[in-house]
Amino acid sequence: EIVTGSRTLRRVRQLGEGYAAQNSATLTIGIGAAPAADSLRVTWPSGKITEIDTPVPAGTVLTLEERAD
């Protein structure tokens, strides 16, 4: 989930679907003309949540991993 101004964008990534599936774990989200996303929130399959509450500039590549705790 990404928030830019008054817009909230949600995307779902499902991996490993089907026989011999090789889906990419990369998720690209376009934010239009906005210079940055105001915040970012990932809800993992386990139910854990990762939040970034600082602006993320457009064009930024993030690598996020679910914490073990």
- State pLDDT tens for residues 11-37: 888 776 667 667 677 888 889 899 999
Mean residue pLDDT across the chain: 87
Strand residues in the chain grouped as ranges (E): 2-4, 7-9, 36-37, 39-43, 49-52, 56-57
Integer Rg of the chain from CA: 13
pTM of the model: 0.75
Bridge partners (DSSP) listed for residue 8: 3
Q: What distance in Å separates the CA atoms of residue 47 and residue 50, rounded to the nearest whole number?
A: 10
